[in-house]
Amino acid sequence: MNYFKIFFSILQIALVVYAGITFIIYLMQEKFIFFPEKLPSGHTFDFPVPFEEKFYMVKEDIKIHAIHFKTENPKGIFLYLHGNTGALDRWGYAALPLVKMGYEVIMPDYRGYGKSTGKLRSELDLYHDAEFIYKEMKKNFDVKNILLYGRSLGTGPATWLAARYHFQKILLETPYYSIEEMAKNQMGFLPVRLLLKYHLKNHIYIPEINNPVFIIHGTEDELIPYEHSVRLSKLLSNPDHFFTVPNGTHNDLERFPEFQGFLNRVLGD
């Protein structure tokens, strides 16, 4: 029996399978990162605070849908960049704690989410859409009163934007060190650096931000490990700007008193 020939045949098969898996993941990586839900154009939202639907024509054929949550005599206005799953019918409720504290909020859906059109094709799509909306906000609001909130996936475009433009404060909830780091943890057997079109490097952009950055993360986060924020906290100019929610997971921080304490500390008068 020619063991060398058998070994060589097995190796060839393994390489073909490996190459196939790598190729599929490269082509379909948006399916592994983004989990949008579409909403019909006539969908009616129901939130317990005043709001207005807005549309931003970021390109001739791409329309970004957003909700502008309003309040009387606002202390400022947030641009809120949400996570990777769902749409504004669910995410809109995340704006309510900020509205209750006297802030207005503009929360967009990403391309292909909710009533937004188009598809996400690259990391730059995320960045440039957020940048477009920020520039539109500056036309109506004093830049000194604009704040930024990034949550989960949204922390990536948030830090990129904050490294380039002025925000009164930047709040990051459950951020990742980078998407590349997340991919390495889950698919370390693949050349993720070469495969990824989405790197979203929070660890690169946070040190470039000149305005106050605040991080909050739960210790039992099952999606983005708490350790990611621990590492990011070492890049903050003020170590007291890192807040921990003991026993908090990825989507339940609002039910813990530490979360409201975080908002009171960061946004309280």
Say how many domains are in the chain: 1
What pLDDT is stored for residue 28 in this prediction?
A: 61
What pLDDT is stored for residue 4 in this prediction?
A: 61
Reply yes or no on whether the pLDDT at 185 is more than 70.
no
72 is a domain residue? yes
CA dist 209 → 62, 142, 161 (Å):
29, 19, 9
Determine the length of the chain.
269
Residue with tokens 């859409």: 129
Beta strands in 60-154 (DSSP E): 62-69, 76-81, 85-86, 103-108, 146-151
Residues 6+ apart with CB under 8 A from 77: 103, 104, 105, 106, 137, 141, 145, 146, 147
15 is a domain residue? no
Beta strands in the chain (DSSP E): 35-36, 51-59, 62-69, 76-81, 85-86, 103-108, 146-151, 170-173, 213-218, 242-245
Token duo for residue 171: 């709040």
Contact between residue 69 and residue 50 where contact means Cβ atoms under 8 Å apart: yes
9 is a domain residue? no
Lowest mean pLDDT among 95-104, 121-130, 137-146, 185-194: 185-194
Task: Look over the chain and give the mean of its residue pLDDT values, rounded to a whole number.
Answer: 90
What pLDDT is stored for residue 198 in this prediction?
A: 84
169 is a domain residue? yes
pLDDT classification of 69: cutoffs 50, 70, 90: very high
Among candidate residues 151, 101, 102, the one with its CA nearest the CA of residue 130? 151
Q: What is the CATH number of the domain that holds 83?
A: 3.40.50.1820
Lowest mean pLDDT among 48-62, 136-150, 177-191, 209-223: 177-191
Over range 207-211, report the average pLDDT: 97
2 is a domain residue? no
Among candidate residues 103, 90, 34, the one with its CA nearest the CA of residue 268? 103
Q: pTM of the prediction?
A: 0.89
CA gyration radius for the chain?
A: 21
pLDDT classification of 32: cutoffs 50, 70, 90: confident
What pLDDT is stored for residue 30 in this prediction?
A: 78
250 is a domain residue? yes
What pLDDT is stored for residue 45 in this prediction?
A: 97
Q: What are phi and psi of 82, to 5 degrees?
A: -90, -175
Domain that holds residue 247: 34-267
CA dist 56 → 59, 77, 116 (Å):
9, 17, 9
Residue with the bigger pLDDT between 11 and 264: it is: 264
pLDDT classification of 20: cutoffs 50, 70, 90: low
Q: What are phi and psi of 194, to 5 degrees?
A: -80, -30
199 is a domain residue? yes
Contact between residue 107 and residue 82 where contact means Cβ atoms under 8 Å apart: yes
